[in-house]
Structure 1
């Protein structure tokens, strides 16, 4: 069955999703919602960066999107608008999203309740993911399936974000804030609150009930003035962040979600980054999984290819889940509610 899909926004991640939707045989693009007036009226093929027209033009008219009655909206603004989401769900339209949403904890109890009620009313589902948080926590839970006597799972992300420093999703990190700036730790916690969602989701997949989720953060500081795009980072200000969310059960840390982000190497303490993910399953036997991502054209890859790979990694977990989400029970759903999610098989050429 071919599912009728609307792409909601066409920023960096939205463009990657739009391209995937257009290319998949089991999905039919029927609409595009665009915030920017410069995108309204333009063909989706152009907005996706393809060299062809697809016959679907972007609109900023939400009523027109609702009138299409799509099976699912691929919703990808940087931040979620709960009013728009509840309107879609109550109209019976399923939603997959990368907008800092997994269980709804990050948007607050009242917003989560509204979304759940709207989805139940409309007999629709909402699913959120990205590469992290989202997919990597699911992978970490699944990696425990070859062991017994599980004690804990730790997932560590480690990246130098210099080439992405201007990206808006780093605005909450506080790059360049003075050392010891009051409230910085709380601001980072709020800015990456979706990791709390991920801990909740991971616990559900593992069959755990968490008593508490706690948060810790450390900062590293620039040893010289840094030249990074979109930021002012002077000597002595924040240029490294080490955050951890701990899922606690029966007084023990059973889940740890750690991320180390830096702007280069001129920092104190001199943290190193592995530019990848490490999953450590503390069980019998212990399981260690290293996850790296490489462009499919590694020999000829350009800087733009690397950027495109990052947006694909964010968009693909949501787009690939569309068929399962359309078939899922009403309400907020996570990986714990869905069958295994995989990519579609590319058509053979020649």
Structure 2
């Protein structure tokens, strides 16, 4: 006897949300029950078309109450943009209290809830989850899989570890949100401009969750997190998705956060983002535009590189969005089955996908899956 499909609502149809709409609609164990959109121009349109695929017969809506009234089993929350985390918190609370499980790529600080920087909200969400008998899980690719589970998996080979470094090296010229890239990270601004990344304590807070998740998984205690920011200018104008980065302004950003154990920096998360390959040539680089490295200095030394996508066709930007979306879409059945509360990757088994052996054909918005 076949089980009833898990009913899912996807929250937004941006890059990650569009992948989620396509993935959920093609999974026989999942049923797309509804889609939420923020842009008024998208309201009333077919969700499948908004996601770049064929019509699905599901109309996108901006009415959160109507979607809650559908009583889905889970919401895939993929809203993005400035202030997205703060705006998402009341939504999470409302959904959890209504008995709806939530998986999210929006609030990366909640990949390890015990380390969340807003303890009052953490408690509110915990209370809502227990009141509604529901669960919450956040993940992605970085923060997410490449900054937590991949490192922990490799550490299963270790006898002793001096340091574990988790790195992303990426070309992000495809990212279109100007506020995030310019005001948040400083791209296209002179080096005397103070982006959000430079606010004292920002980096420590931003990367505390994956660092503390790794530490908890390995039974260690973090004494403090130390953050550093480095930026480099471009000597030529660079055309990117959000506009033009003029010569003499920031074209590459490198952040580093280190978790201190026993007085030394033991767990390091490093993020290198370029707007063109030739900026900051002395920094670590990669032939692939989305590269993730795990380096364990210990007994034994372990070095692993994971790349997503390819330079042409199904490229790294689209691949990273797909990987981000699928981290939570694949987790839906596991989160629905989990006890109520705020979850991390330490609380779930491997969120192995189902129904993944499909023929894949390209279409203008990315990929379309077809049963093989």
TM-score where L is the length of structure 2: 0.84
Aligned-pair CA distance for 1:107: 5.5
Secondary structure of residue in 2 paired with 1:209: coil
- Whole-angstrom distance in 1 between the partners of 2:142 and 2:293: 12
- Whole-angstrom distance in 2 between the partners of 1:343 and 1:113: 31
Aligned-pair CA distance for 1:211: 1.5
Aligned-pair CA distance for 1:168: 5.9
Please name the residue that 1:157 is paired with.
Answer: 168
What are the ranges of 5 or more consecutive residues in structure 1 without an aligned counterpart?
Answer: none
Aligned-pair CA distance for 1:29: 1.0
User: For 1:24-62, what per-residue CA distance to the aligned partner results, in whole angstroms no more than 9, with x for missing partners?
Assistant: 1111111111112222222222222222x3332222111
Contact 1:178 1:236 in 2 (8 A): yes
Which has the larger displacement, 328-337 or 204-213?
A: 204-213
Please name the residue that 2:283 is paired with.
Answer: 271
Aligned-pair CA distance for 1:228: 3.1
Asked if residue 23 in structure 1 is aligned to residue 35 in structure 2, the reply is no
Contact 2:48 2:56 in 1 (8 A): yes
Which has the larger displacement, 130-139 or 336-345?
A: 336-345
Distance 1:239 1:96, change over 3 A: same
- Whole-angstrom distance in 2 between the partners of 1:49 and 1:328: 32
| Map 1:1-350 → 2, pairs under 5 A | 1=3, 2-51=5-54, 53-78=55-80, 79-80=84-85, 81-101=88-108, 102-104=111-113, 105=115, 108-137=118-147, 138-164=149-175, 169-171=180-182, 172-182=184-194, 185-187=197-199, 190=202, 193-267=205-279, 270-274=282-286, 275=288, 276-294=291-309, 302=313, 306-347=316-357
Secondary structure of residue in 1 paired with 2:45: coil
Which has the larger displacement, 227-236 or 70-79?
A: 227-236
| Structure 1 vs Structure 2 CA RMSD | 2.5
Aligned-pair CA distance for 1:180: 3.5
User: For 1:52-101, what per-residue CA distance to the aligned partner results, in whole angstroms no more than 9, with x for missing partners?
Assistant: x3332222111111111111100111123211110001111110000033
Aligned-pair CA distance for 1:337: 0.4
Distance 1:314 1:189, change over 3 A: farther
User: For 1:217-247, what per-residue CA distance to the aligned partner results, in whole angstroms no more than 9, with x for missing partners?
Assistant: 1111122343334244333322111111111
User: For 1:278-317, what per-residue CA distance to the aligned partner results, in whole angstroms no more than 9, with x for missing partners?
Assistant: 111222111111101235xx8xx53x65543232022111
TM-score where L is the length of structure 1: 0.89
Aligned-pair CA distance for 1:108: 1.9
Secondary structure of residue in 2 paired with 1:317: helix
Contact 1:221 1:269 in 2 (8 A): no
Which has the larger displacement, 339-348 or 177-186?
A: 177-186
- Whole-angstrom distance in 1 between the partners of 2:216 and 2:134: 21
User: For 1:188-234, what per-residue CA distance to the aligned partner results, in whole angstroms no more than 9, with x for missing partners?
Assistant: 96389542222122222222221112211111112234333424433
Contact 2:196 2:202 in 1 (8 A): no
Contact 1:141 1:153 in 2 (8 A): no
What are the ranges of 5 or more consecutive residues in structure 2 without an aligned counterpart?
Answer: 359-370
Please name the residue that 2:365 is paired with.
Answer: none
Contact 1:173 1:188 in 2 (8 A): no
- Whole-angstrom distance in 2 between the partners of 1:12 and 1:186: 27
Which has the larger displacement, 336-345 or 163-172?
A: 163-172
Secondary structure of residue in 1 paired with 2:130: helix
Distance 1:29 1:227, change over 3 A: closer
- Whole-angstrom distance in 2 between the partners of 1:4 and 1:188: 43
Secondary structure of residue in 1 paired with 2:174: helix
